Amino acid sequence: MKKPIISISFLTLKYFLFSLLLGLLVACSAEPPFQPLSASAAVLAFGDSLTAGNGAPQQGSYPAQLSRLINLSVINGGVSGEESHEGRDRLANLLDQYRPELLILCHGGNDLLRKRPLAQLEENLEAMIIMAQQRGIQVLLLGVPSPGIFLSGNKVYETVADNTGVELIPDLIADVLSQPALKSDTIHPNEAGYTEIAETITSELQKLGAI
């Protein structure tokens, strides 16, 4: 009576080891989320004052610092005070002009400050992402926090990322603005804060396989 039990256990063990090995092989062979950027790639950083670099010298903005870190051209497409519907109107021309391989989208802060409807923000962000995707451009989305004492990325960015399938860094801006030493005012980083943003994006791009 004991032999069949030993036999079944041995087969079960073999199946478990085979499944484990197969899972490891699949994991190792899985492609990273991003395609590597070419040596001549342009990156478009698009958004409002957080992208423009308010609160720091021009070369201290996160796009300028990111360009130095990844050794690629990073175009600063930030316009201070812009709302998401204005960015939606503006983006297509920049995508066609610069033909970037990557769009870093950080928009909507002014919508949140001015209490615009979240449904409107969601629609505008998704429209901008679709513009890029239709052109074969990869997208990295940065979450922006709503105003308040305890900052965290607004949940609308998670919804947008889920709906469009793009990669999201949800709390980077919130984490920076939660540290007084990294802020120039209540809503903008200083140069050190933009350094933190650029370094975190660089690390994320490495994890995603873009660089």
| Residue boundaries of the structural domains of the chain | 42-208
pLDDT at 152: 76
Which pLDDT band, with edges at 50, 70 and 90, does 195 fall under? very high
Which pLDDT band, with edges at 50, 70 and 90, does 32 fall under? low
User: What is the rounded average pLDDT for all residues in the chain?
Assistant: 89
pLDDT at 191: 98
Backbone angles phi, psi at 72, to 5 degrees: -135, 160
Range scoring the smallest mean pLDDT among 6-10, 106-110, 205-209: 6-10
pTM: 0.84
Residue 140 CB partners (closer than 8 Å, separation 6+)? 102, 103, 104, 105, 166, 167, 168, 169, 201, 204, 205, 208
Q: Is the pLDDT of residue 100 over 50?
A: yes
pLDDT at 151: 73
The mean pLDDT of 156-178, rounded to a whole number, is 97
pLDDT at 11: 43
Which CATH topology does 42-208 take?
A: Rossmann fold (3.40.50)
Q: Is the pLDDT of residue 29 over 50?
A: no
pLDDT at 110: 97
Cβ pair 72, 41 in contact under 8 A: yes
Which percentage of the chain shows pLDDT scores above 70?
84
Which pLDDT band, with edges at 50, 70 and 90, does 153 fall under? confident
Q: Is the pLDDT of residue 21 over 70?
A: no
Read off the pLDDT of residues 37-83 as tens digits, 9 standing for 90 and up.
999 999 999 999 999 999 999 999 999 999 999 999 999 999 999 99
CA end-to-end span of the chain: 60
Residue 128 CB partners (closer than 8 Å, separation 6+)? 46, 84, 87, 88, 91, 105, 107
Nearest residue to 200 (alpha-carbon basis) of 146, 128, 132, 140: 140
The mean pLDDT of 121-136, rounded to a whole number, is 98
Q: Using a CB cutoff of 8 Å and minimum separation of 24, what contacts does 155-162 make?
A: 156/108, 156/118, 156/121, 156/122, 156/125, 157/108, 157/125, 159/122, 160/122, 160/125, 160/126, 160/129
